[in-house]
Structure formats: structure tokens, C-alpha cells
């Protein structure tokens, strides 16, 4: 069977640099519609979103993913055209090969095979696709979730096809992700000449003790599922560029990656308490891009781990490491969300690739999950 590979090649050949879908979702819809999937397009601005569902009953099992990819970078550094899938040395090369067009191809073909084998399956099978995962994620999965919530349509189990494996296919499942809370801090001082510091107030000097305290703080100790919350400064800017001018303002950009042991609200309050205690004249803007989510061991995790072991012989680790994903949006209407896909060593890199040999096993793992939950 070359079906997963053939579909992956067809998807890679479409230059779907975020937020452009480049026809990927239309290709998938054309395959699913003859099998009885109800196809719903949910466009938002320049973003294409697709909701495809087979059946109307519950439980509803959903595969979710994205058809957009990051820009390829300098084309001259690629050994082959990033949008012309190339097989060499038993690997498939192209932008999106690992993140995540092979997983999309695998779960599409798994859903097709399952529906053919079990046309009267219980519950429902759905696919949720977006072209706004690699971008700002404002018009993608979140918009589909809003529509589903508005009409009372809930998902019972969701597998997001993110590239979670590390050394070999099946070694890692993500059953949750940390939250992400960013801040833009502006500390106000008084600009002046460096030779007359008594006539100025240097915001860098004023803020330094508070920033050191924040950097050394223990925000929480994590828990059995998550490591401790971390706080990191990502950018600092002050001054005019001249060496003889005391700056009038200091801008600091920072980010929390936080576990379920903390909340966005408690972290904000603690930061502001430190700044107030140091008597800084400041303004702060907060941006919460993701709350943490966690899927405890249950039907979905067990079905996925069992399917992985049956197909690959691997005992999958269950982890919450890494950045954010669209699972954070789906978790709002789905109690069990996990992520599982191909090895991630080459994602976003020049010459992104995946071993050809993992595609059919991945599709079979996804198919077996459907059998365990719906057949």
C-alpha cells in the first residue's frame, strides 16, 4: 500500500506556506465526500479551514491537523525543491514532510480505510484541518471550535497529528501542553546626559533588581505531569543608540511557560507585586496565547498506546514537553486530546524529511485507534 505516501507527496507538492492552503483541503475533501463525509468549509480571512464528519452520533473521534507549512528559507540550501517531493535514501524530502503533511495523509487514509471496513460504525469520525497553525493561529482551529461550540457539537476524543516521536515512530505521545503567557513591560525613567545622572532616572538601573528577582523566582514546582513553570526574558530594549544618553524608557518582553500548577491570573499578580514592591513606574501588557491542558490516562491514551505497541512493538512514553499546539483550542470542547505523529528531528529545517517506512505504520496506528473506539 502506497496510499499514505502518495497522498503525502501530493500535499507536499502544494506550496501551502501559511496561511495559504494551496488546495490541500480541497484535495482531501474530494477524497472524503464519496465515502459519505459531510464536508464543511469554514474560511476566515485568508485562512482555509475544513470540518469533515462521517456519522452524526457520539462518541465523536476527531483527527486534527494543519495543511500550512513554514516558509522554506533559502532555496539554494535545499538539495531538492522543497515543494517537489523527493524520495532518496528511503526518505521523503520536502517542506511539511514531517510537520505535518505525512500525518495528515496518514489519518486521512486511516479514516478512509476505517469507513470502508465499518460503514455502519457507531459514533462519528471527523477531520479538522486548518491553514493557520504555523501562523498567528487567530483564524484557524479556534474558528472551527467556535462554530462547533455555538451549535453544541462536542468532540469526545481528538488525536492531533503533530510530530511527537523522537528517536523512532511511537516512542512519544503528548497528552498535554504547557500554557503560554507573554508580557510587554515598559519601565519609565527620565532621559538625560550620562555625565549628569543626578538630573535623570535610569530605568535600566531601576528595573534591574526587580528583573533579577523575577528571573530567580520559583513560580511553582510543577506536578506529576508537568515540569515547573519557567519565566524567560526574550528581548530587552532601551536607549537612543548613543553612548552618552541615559534612556528614558526600558522595554522588556518576557514569556511564561506554565503548568497546571499555576494560573495565568496568579502569575500576573505575582509579577505585578514584585514590580510594585520595587516602586517602579511601569506599564504592562499581557497576552495569553494558551492555557495548559492535560488528558489523564483513559480511553484515548490507552487506545493509542495499545495501537502503537501492536504495530511497532514500542511502549510509548506519555509526555507534556514542547511548545504549544492547536490542541489548546480543541481542549475547550473535547475532554481527551492527545498528539501523536512522526519523528520531529527535521521539522522547520532545510531538507525537512521523514523516513518513508513510517507512513504506512502511522496510518495503521490511526486506523486501529478508530477500531478500538468506534467499531
- Give the catalytic positions in this structure: 68, 133
8-state DSSP, 47: B
8-state DSSP, 227: P
Peptide bond connecting 19 to the previous residue in cis, omega within 30 degrees of 0: yes
Return the C-alpha cell found at 180.
503560554
Distance CA 265, CA 284 (A): 14
Helix (H, G, I), strand (E, B) or coil at 330: helix
| Enclosing H/E stretch for 125 | strand 124-130
Beta-carbon count within 10 A of 81 CB: 15
The closest alpha carbon to 132, from 23, 43, 19, belongs to 19
Rg (C-alpha) for the chain, rounded Å, is 24
DSSP string, 233-256: EEEEEES-S-TTEE-SEEEEEEEE
Amino acid at each position: 500500500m502506497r496510499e499514505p505516501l502518495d497522498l503525502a507527496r501530493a500535499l507536499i507538492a502544494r506550496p501551502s506556506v501559511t496561511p495559504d492552503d494551496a488546495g490541500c483541503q480541497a484535495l482531501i475533501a474530494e477524497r472524503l465526500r464519496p465515502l459519505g463525509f459531510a464536508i464543511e468549509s469554514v474560511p476566515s480571512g485568508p485562512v482555509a479551514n475544513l470540518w469533515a464528519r462521517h456519522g452524526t452520533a457520539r462518541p465523536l473521534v476527531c483527527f486534527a491537523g494543519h495543511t500550512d507549512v513554514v516558509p522554506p528559507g533559502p532555496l539554494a540550501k535545499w538539495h531538492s525543491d522543497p515543494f517537489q517531493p523527493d524520495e532518496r535514501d528511503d526518505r521523503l524530502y520536502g517542506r511539511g514532510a514531517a510537520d505535518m503533511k505525512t500525518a495528515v495523509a496518514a489519518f486521512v487514509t486511516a479514516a478512509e480505510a476505517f469507513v470502508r471496513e465499518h460503514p455502519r460504525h457507531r459514533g462519528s469520525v471527523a477531520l479538522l484541518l486548518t491553514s493557520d497553525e504555523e501562523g498567528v493561529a487567530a483564524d484557524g482551529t479556534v474558528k472551527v471550535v467556535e462554530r462547533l461550540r455555538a451549535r453544541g457539537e462536542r468532540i469526545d476524543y481528538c488525536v492531533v497529528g503533530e510530530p511527537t516521536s523522537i528517536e523512532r515512530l511511537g516512542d512519544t505521545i503528548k497528552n498535554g501542553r504547557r500554557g503560554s503567557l507573554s508580557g510587554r513591560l515598559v519601565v519609565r525613567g527620565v532621559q538625560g546626559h550620562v555625565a549628569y545622572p543626578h538630573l535623570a532616572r535610569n530605568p535600566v538601573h531601576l528595573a534591574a533588581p526587580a528583573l533579577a528577582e523575577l528571573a530567580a523566582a520559583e513560580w511553582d514546582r510543577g506536578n506529576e505531569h508537568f515540569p515547573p513553570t519557567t519565566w524567560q526574558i526574550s528581548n530587552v530594549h532601551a536607549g537612543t543608540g548613543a553612548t552618552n544618553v541615559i534612556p528614558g524608557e526600558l522595554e522588556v518582553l518576557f514569556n511564561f511557560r506554565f503548568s497546571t500548577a499555576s494560573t495565568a491570573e496568579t502569575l500576573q499578580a505575582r509579577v505585578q507585586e514584585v514590580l510594585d514592591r520595587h516602586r517602579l513606574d511601569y506599564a504592562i501588557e499581557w497576552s495569553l496565547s494558551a492555557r495548559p491542558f492535560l488528558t489523564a490516562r483513559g480511553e484515548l491514551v490507552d487506545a493509542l498506546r495499545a495501537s502503537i505497541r501492536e504495530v511497532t512493538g514500542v511502549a510509548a512514553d506519555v509526555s507534556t514537553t514542547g511548545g504549544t499546539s492547536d490542541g489548546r483550542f480543541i481542549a475547550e470542547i473535547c475532554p481527551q486530546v492527545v498528539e501523536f505523529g512522526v519523528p520531529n528531528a527535521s521539522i522547520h529545517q532545510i531538507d525537512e524529511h521523514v523516513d518513508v517506512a513510517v507512513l504506512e505504520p502511522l496510518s495503521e496506528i490511526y486506523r486501529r485507534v478508530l477500531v478500538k473506539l468506534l467499531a
